[in-house]
Amino acid sequence: MNRPPAVDGGRTRSTGPFSGDWERLAAEIRACRLCPLGATRTHAVVYRGGPSPRVVFVGEAPGATEDATGRPFMGRSGARLDAAVAAVGLADGEFGVLNVLKCRPPENRFDRLAARTCRPYLRRQLELLHPRALVPLGAVALRELAPEAPPVLTAAGRPYDSPDGPIFPLIHPAAALRSRTLRERWDRDVRALGAWLRSVV
Ligand code: SF4
């Protein structure tokens, strides 16, 4: 059986085999038409990263570039995320990136109903990847992983417990592109994430 390679920052690297269960799940997601987004997407976007990541970054939904390429967090916000990953010292294969929704919502409007339908895929991905820590990126991912946490601008930059284990929320990297204040917030919170990861992961 052909094993999918790990993908990092637009470069493709092999970091070892994914399990058969993972491959079956990825194939199921790529073929999924369970909600209306299945009819409008170009590609379902499953994951990029190693098969046994220490940390998984969780975003909201694919955008236009992700829909076109089938890979999460490409483009400018993906570049910002990749720079943050490098800054906190995570090497190839030590991290993964995925989204709550696997298919792009039209006009990038997050679809809560679709997310409910899609949720079992996220749950199964986290179960199979079993990372030591999760980093929700933005309000949607934070609400999905830790419904009891405060709003993202309050929660970002510090660790919380969640049903999935320790999480460390950040604002969405796309938000950090919008203003100098949010860019400084992003940089500060990424430094705090690096210090936290060194102590716990
Ligand atoms: S968003 Fe999720 S549930 Fe909807 S078609 Fe895509 S993979 Fe299936």
Task: Give me the domains of the chain, ranges plus CATH numbers.
Answer: 6-148+156-200 (3.40.470.10)
122 CB near ligand 1 (under 6 Å): no
Confidence of residue 201 (pLDDT cuts 50, 70, 90): low
In the prediction, which pLDDT does 13 show?
A: 45
Pocket probe mutation, ligand 1, options 32, 40, 45, max atoms within 8 Å of Cβ: 32
pLDDT tops 80 at residue 102: yes
List of residues 6+ apart from 34 with CB closer than 8 A: 117, 118
In the prediction, which pLDDT does 17 show?
A: 81
Pocket probe mutation, ligand 1, options 37, 104, 116, max atoms within 8 Å of Cβ: 37
pLDDT tops 60 at residue 4: no
Helices and strands in the chain, H and E counts: 8, 8
- The partner residues of 59 in beta bridges, in order of sequence, read 99
In the prediction, which pLDDT does 15 show?
A: 53
- Residue keyed to tokens 């929700």: 136
CA angle at 103 for the pair 161 and 157, rounded to the nearest 5°: 30
42 CB near ligand 1 (under 6 Å): no
Q: What percent of the chain has pLDDT over 70?
A: 92
- Residue keyed to tokens 């379902």: 44
pLDDT tops 60 at residue 10: no
Strand order in the sheet with 55-59: 48-49, 95-99, 55-59, 133-136, 165-167, 160-162
Nearest CA to ligand 1 atom 6: 103
**CA–CA gap between residue 124 and residue 112 (Å, rounded):** 19
Distance 35 CA to ligand 1 centre (A): 5
Predicted model pTM? 0.91
Distance 104 CA to ligand 1 centre (A): 9
Distance 120 CA to ligand 1 centre (A): 10
Nearest CA to ligand 1 atom 2: 118
Distance 101 CA to ligand 1 centre (A): 7
Distance 123 CA to ligand 1 centre (A): 13
Q: Taking residues 173-199, what's their average pLDDT?
A: 95
Q: What percent of the chain has pLDDT over 90?
A: 85
Q: Taking residues 137-150, what's their average pLDDT?
A: 96
Nearest CA to ligand 1 atom 3: 118
pLDDT digits (tens, 9 = 90+) for 153-179: 999 999 999 999 999 999 999 999 899
